[in-house]
Chains A and B, each alone.
Chain A
Amino acid sequence: MENTNELRTIPERGWRTGFATLFHEANASWWHSKKWLLQSVLWLLFLNGILATILWSVPAEVLAATGAPLGSITTMEAVQQNPTVIALVYFLIFSALALPVAAIIAGQDAIIGERQSGTAAWILSKPVSRPAFILSKLAASTLGMLVTAVVVQGVAAYVQLSLRTGSPWPMAGFWAAMGLLFLNCWFYLTLTYMLGSIFTNRGRVLGISLAMALIGPAFLRSLPVIKDFTPWAFFANISEDVPVGIALALGQPPASVTPIICTALMCLIFTAVAILHFQREEF
């Protein structure tokens, strides 16, 4: 057996050991399949379809007549008087509801599937750290979601808005709102990873995650304090004030950054719990 001496041992050490190869593999399984194309087209048809239906069904002269400066739209009542903004708001609200479901479906099998199939034990018998196992998959899913659910949708929506209004839509605010949409997705993706590392039952992971995404926002009116700690109020209309995500899309500063910071922190906590729990897992 000839020794191939020119091979270089992987330089990664500590928690990063194995990350690059696993990330490459997880990424390839996303981008080398038609998964990303299917997701992109599906969301384009659904989310940009909603935007297009409203935007292009309103006559141009009506749009021009109701075109108040975006900076002056500070209440939901004002929002409802501007068809372009209504179209944008519906796009954002439906995205905030639908994309977490996509994130949950994308994330629910990542850990449980590998544990149940036995491939996790195989991978972890190689020089791979357990944090690298979790983080590589999370990073690949994050990148996939970012591109298919946020960037592709955002570009299409931005082009539509700019074309229909006849001038470039304020870019910074729009992409800040898309960033918030992404944070909203990432919250559910990390939540699903955490649950996937804790439970061995897909039903529990899906049930808890979907309940959080679909039922959680219903508690905003009865328990308004939770809007400061969750992403549920990013785009939800629970008062006369414009929600933080919609304010950003209109180029306005958010009324409060607390829910944004809290959601980001919770994403990090979910990831840390997923790693800590997976560290203790036995195969």
Chain B
Amino acid sequence: MNPSNSLVIETHNLSKAYKGVQALKGLNLTVQQHSIFGFLGPNGAGKSTTIKLLLGLARPTGGSAHIFGHDIQRESISIRRRVGYLAQDPRYYEHMSARETLRFTARLFYSGPAPAIEKRVEETLELVGLADKADRPIKGFSGGERQRLGIAQAQVNYPDLLILDEPAASLDPQGRHDVLEVMERLRKHTTIFYSTHILADVQRVSDTVAILDHGTLISQAPIEELLNSNGAPVYTLGLKGETEIARLRLASLPWVTAIQTRPVNNHVSWEVTVSDEVIAEAQLLSLVQSGGEVTVLEFGRRKVDLEDIFLTLTEGDQNGKH
């Protein structure tokens, strides 16, 4: 398969404005086949808008997008035949049971035979762990059960692409765990594109991440690349004593690019950003201690996680010497 064939979602300057307010600004996104693609952004960033545009539930005001090579505006039904979708706040016919909901959904994709549809419904109920609650009316379902039903109805057609809008947002830790577990189980069968603002979930299950803020794509990369490429190494130190003298000594060094200081209880915490990791490893600790005016309580390299990257990118956080 050549690279262009392996693209499941491709958007070109996709834009959407609501009554003059630009909700999405020229989004250029590519989602590779068989990836679990985390679509990150704070509330109101434009994640749900993007998803609705991809599914034909809203119309773009600019740009274009293709899913499986089909145009989202002209060939929406062909796209939806191959897609499963879970909305942020999924709603179903409350009088139906989980089994009836899945049967109804399956009938929107398949015309029969009836035993094959029942078999598919049963498989999907098993997949999300709802087999024992299959015949209960869904109006009595908990948030977690409702979300599992949401994944089941999205998966009942064995889609080539699963689009999940904040699948774990409203769930308690156990519910979140269950949903992520189901997603991990599905990863070998389908491409998953999901939006979230829960960074720990993204780091746990995603292989690629895009970060959206105020309708603009800030970054898109494989998660490992994003974690490894995020800025210069940062060392953390816990200090007691005349820290200002030591700070001035360190700040004069050309390979120290930023020092952030913060009082913590009866000591001071530093975050030292460096441009040369090798020199820092060899000299930083001894340089701090060289004047004898401070006692080092803690020393280590700060592990960068997705939250740091996210906050840096979305808030435009600037570290600087001061």
One of A4, A119, A125 near B55 (C-beta < 8 A)? A125
- Residue-by-residue, is B104-126 near A (CB-CB < 8 Å gives 1, otherwise 0)? 11011111110011011001000
Please, which residues of chain B bring their CB within 8 A of the CB of A121? Answer: 57, 87, 91
Please, which residues of chain A bring their CB within 8 A of the CB of B108? Answer: 10, 18, 21-22, 123, 126-128
One of A4, A17, A21, A129 near B120 (C-beta < 8 A)? A4
Whether the Cβ atoms of B110 and A24 lie closer than 8 Å is: no
Taking CB atoms and an 8 Å cut-off, the chain A residues in 68-89 that contact chain B are none
Given contacts A4-B119, A6-B116, A119-B91, whether A283 and B57 have CB atoms under 8 Å apart is yes
B93: nearest chain-A partner, CB-CB: A119
B interface majority secondary structure: mixed
Given contacts A7-B117, A25-B104, A121-B87, whether A282 and B59 have CB atoms under 8 Å apart is yes
Bound-complex Cα distance A118 to B52 (A):
13
B19–chain A nearest beta-carbon distance, Å:
12
Whether the Cβ atoms of A118 and B80 lie closer than 8 Å is: no
Please, which residues of chain B bring their CB within 8 A of the CB of A203? Answer: none
Interface size class of B (residues with CB under 8 A): 35 or more
Interface residues on chain A, number (Cβ under 8 Å)? 32
Bound-complex Cα distance A10 to B109 (A):
6
Bound-complex Cα distance A126 to B56 (A):
10
One of B59, B77, B117, B158 near A127 (C-beta < 8 A)? B77
Please, which residues of chain B bring their CB within 8 A of the CB of A117? Answer: 91
B79: nearest chain-A partner, CB-CB: A127
Taking CB atoms and an 8 Å cut-off, the chain A residues in 1-58 that contact chain B are 1-4, 6-11, 17-18, 20-22, 24-25, 29
Bound-complex Cα distance A61 to B107 (A):
61
B186–chain A nearest beta-carbon distance, Å:
8
One of A2, A24, A282 near B58 (C-beta < 8 A)? A282
- Residue-by-residue, is A249-283 near B (CB-CB < 8 Å gives 1, otherwise 0)? 00000000000000000000000000000000011
Kindly list 16 other residue pairs between chains A and B, CB separation below 8 angstroms, not including A6-B113, A282-B57, A283-B52.
Answer: A1-B123, A1-B127, A1-B189, A7-B110, A7-B112, A7-B116, A9-B111, A10-B107, A10-B111, A21-B107, A29-B95, A127-B81, A127-B109, A128-B108, A129-B77, A283-B58
Taking beta carbons and an 8 Å cutoff, which residues of A are in contact with B?
Answer: 1-4, 6-11, 17-18, 20-22, 24-25, 29, 117-119, 121-129, 282-283
